[in-house]
Chains A and B, each alone.
Chain A
Amino acid sequence: MANNVAASEKYRMCYKKTGDMAYISQLDLQRLFQRAFRRAGIRLAHTHGFNPHPKLAFSMPVPIFVESEAEYLDFSIEGSHDDATMQQLLQPCLPEGIFVVGITKLLPNSLSLSKLISNARYEAYFSGAGIDPALADAEYESASLIYTKEGKKGKPDKQIDLKASARFVDFNVSNGDLVTTFVLPMSSASYINPSAFTQALQENLSCLGAVELGGIRKVSVMSSLD
């Protein structure tokens, strides 16, 4: 059976999803990458079986409307390419807003993205707020951020204490905007949606209630090994 195991190599890509690309869903993104690989002439390895599909494994995606500087994708290709050429081939086939930061070859026993990535750091911008960050800090200290997650398939709703889940929250001013930086868990079991978190901030911190949310951006991810 040895000759049945096709020579396929596994890679990890880090890419940005910014600008208008924040408007497309994870499903759209999967299609986008499959076609981009085809256009670039890079043959993705496929699963075997009745309905073969390309071997792509994404890190937990950012929700629609959230931009990201740190998205990851593991993929396997048939044959081999050098990492730098692959990046050069792929980038022109991607739309504006999807930018390949880097591609590296994975060792056979590398941890999967879902096992590796434990937390993500986000920034939320409140445009032209003119709010004293110290006031936001103080309000945050005394606020309680409870988020009700709708139970799926008849299961009861879940109350999640967002404040206890957040690893880090900070308020700052940059270019006249108020910027909130926060770190939320990424593992599928304890994942917190950054849009839900930002909404909870706006609902519970009176200084943010009336200002306009400019956008949310995922800045980096952290590994459980750190």
Chain B
Amino acid sequence: MRQIDKKKLANLLKKSEKPARYTGGEPNSIKGRDAQVNFALAFPDTYEIGMSHLGLRILYGLINSIDGAGAQRVFTPLTDMISLMRQEGVELFSLEERAPIGDFDIVGFSIPYELALTNVLEMLELASIPLKSKDRGANHPIIIAGGVCTYNPLPFEEFFDIIFVGEAEEGIVALVELLKASKESGQAKAGFLSKAAGIRGVYVPSLGGQLVSRAFVEDMDNAYFPSSFVVPLIEIIHDRASVEIMRGCARGCRFCQSGFIYRPLRPKSLDTIKRQADAILASTGYSEISLASLSSTDCPGVDEAISYLREEHGAGMKVALPSLRMDSYSLALSRDTSTQRSMLLTFAPEAGSQRMRDIINKNLTEEQILSTLREAFNSGTTKIKLYFMIGLPFETDEDVAEIASLVQKINLLYLKERTAKKPLALSVSVSCFIPKVHTPFQYFPFEDPTALARRQELLRSLIGKKAKLSCHPIGASMLEAAIARGGRQTAEAIFNAHKLGCLFDSWPEKLDLGKWEEAFAQAGLDLREEAQKQYTPGEALPWDFIQTGVSNGFFALEAKRAASGQTTVNCFEGCSGCGISPGGRDCYGK
């Protein structure tokens, strides 16, 4: 592989804000593999954000473990570096070998959120790769998209040669092996693509008209998991070891995409968790580990895993447990993960009123919320963070006002139950509901932005100083909603936005909504109308050709139940017949 001119690069690095973002060379990074298949693992955001993604770390280890394949990383350079690169005529390059991205066989983008799509286009442009699949030739790399956004590939499919839908552990290996064989036999790109379409989870937009079943891993205990992580030299967002302890979620919150696209629930065994955690900790030297899943306390071995980690790796080992439910078991576990009483407890009641919590199928009562907090306050907790959403289907201003009443009740409860001297530090984070594909709420519109603004204002005035309130920006959420359920025409809007200079749109200070409105208008679309599209439960949807295994009938039924405030049991209590497995026969906990 070629390398970027050393002298030019040294010059750029000297002028860039944080050169270590671009130099690689971290412990456990894999350098200098002469591979038959060179795979650029691209993440459309900064090094600090990308390196915090567990998925990327899994893929890096996985691809490097394939005989004859080598993975190298590349992230979006920051704007200062981008202009330096353009000035000096330096192409986008990989961290490991400083090789131009255009020289790779495959460039695989992991797309973590819709607002990262302009970064993808910027990266292709910096690599001198034509942005649209149809404009690329035999000598250009094969450009792949993966990640959660691919469950509706329509808004960006024209930029990619292959879209990988679902869990990549098995399919990526098959793809790489296929490309290796194609290269050996001198097969052309078109031949490779049509063969690739036969791999589960692979969608080749240029072939059109296919049904695509998401890829998923049946046996999590035997699924690939890396035994080492690259250990960054500079500080990143989540700078710690991480072991995925379970995939999927049994709860069925109606707004939550992860709750449906990762069905069914697949916990790893305690032995696997221990083995993987030990290996990662030994090879990285981290002193903090996160046990990752969508609902930690639903994982059967989690309590034993925590005590094991603390015993085996000393009291200095911090164990982080994300996504806690509001019950005493969760509380006991989180207490076990920290000896410090000053620890912040984070919960997500999602809605303020019982009516809304039933509509979204949160299956959480106010009594459960308050009794969990009572217990926490009794044992000295002083810091609480709560997540809520507004703009949910069927929501009224009264429902939103109940968020403020709940905050008030929590404050009073603290005064009564506290054992610590400190005042309560309560923070409340309020996001806007964004309808996502393959959920029961995929039919519903994004709320009218003026109503959202009014409700945010209402919360500000009702909550006042009773909590530290932070509301997500409405514009960014509306844009995300417009893209998330967008169609093929949306790709043109994204292309236009890129041409207008939109970049790092997920960063509030960088998002220029005016430019995006213009970009949509140029594509003949209205951004707001796109976000507010509405479908009738049961009608055929543009993204139906992507199949998750959950039936449309189930989504429609769940949408109707939401309308009447009826809740649905979780998979532990009973199978509600989502379609993943007949009668839940092969599902865990059923």
Binding site for B on A (CB under 8 A): 19-21, 23-25, 27-28, 31-32, 34-39, 46, 52, 65, 93-97
Q: Does B464 sit at the interface, judged by CB under 8 A?
A: no
Chain A min CB distance to B339 (Å)? 10
Q: Taking A20-B25, A23-B18 as given, write out 8 further A-B residue pairs in contact, using a Cβ cutoff of 8 Å, ordered by the A residue number.
A: A20-B19, A21-B233, A23-B19, A36-B27, A38-B285, A38-B286, A39-B282, A52-B316
Assembled-state Cα–Cα distance A46/B315 (Å): 12
In chain B, residues 240-284, which have Cβ atoms closer than 8 Å to a Cβ of chain A?
282-284
Cα distance A132–B590 in the bound complex, in angstroms: 84
> Contact partner of A24 among B231, B234, B285, CB < 8 A?
B234
Q: How far is the CA of A36 from the CA of B28 in the complex (A)?
A: 11
Contact of A95 among B19, B27, B285 (CB under 8 A): B27
Tell me the minimal C-beta distance from A96 to chain B in angstroms: 6
Q: Which of A20, A34, A97 has the most CB of B within 10 A?
A: A20
Give the chain B neighbours of A65 by CB distance below 8 A.
Answer: 14
Q: Would you call B285 and A93 a contact (CB within 8 A)?
A: yes
Q: Is B26 interfacial (CB-CB < 8 Å)?
A: yes
Scoring B residues 222 to 235 as 1 if CB is less than 8 Å from chain A, else 0, what string do you get?
00000000010111
Contact of A28 among B14, B25, B234, B282 (CB under 8 A): B234
Cross-chain contact B231 with A28 (CB below 8 angstroms): no
Which residues on B sit within 8 Å (CB–CB) of A31?
A: 235, 239
Q: Enumerate chain B residues within 8 angstroms of A23, measured Cβ to Cβ.
A: 13, 18-20, 23
Which residues of chain A come closer than 8 Å to B235, judged between CB atoms? 27-28, 31
Contact across chains for B25 and A97 when beta carbons are under 8 A apart: yes
Could you jot down 25 A-B contacts, CB within 8 Å? Answer: A20-B20, A20-B23, A20-B25, A21-B25, A21-B233, A23-B13, A23-B23, A24-B233, A27-B235, A28-B20, A28-B233, A32-B27, A35-B27, A35-B231, A35-B284, A35-B285, A36-B285, A38-B285, A38-B286, A38-B287, A39-B27, A52-B316, A93-B27, A95-B25, A95-B27
Would B286 and A35 count as touching, CB distance under 8 A? yes
Contact at B26–A95, with CB atoms within 8 Å? yes
Interface residues of B (CB under 8 A from A): 13-14, 18-20, 23-27, 231, 233-235, 239, 282-287, 316
Please report the C-alpha to C-alpha distance between residue A206 and residue B276 in the assembled complex, in whole angstroms: 61
Residues of A within 8 A of B20 (CB): 20, 23-24, 28
CA distance A166 to B270 in the complex (A): 62
Please determine whether B284 and A95 come into contact, CB atoms closer than 8 angstroms. Answer: no
Within 8 Å CB of A95, what residues of B? 25-27, 233
> How long is the Cα–Cα vector from A36 to B14 in the complex, in angstroms?
27
Q: Which residue of B lies closest to A97 (CB)?
A: B25
Chain A contacts of B14 at CB under 8 A?
Answer: 65
User: How far in angstroms is the closest Cβ of chain A from B257?
Assistant: 35
A45 nearest CB across to chain B (Å): 12
- Cα distance, A112 to B136, chains bound together (Å): 62
Q: Is the CB of B233 within 8 A of A39?
A: no
Chain B proximity of A213: nearest CB distance (Å): 9
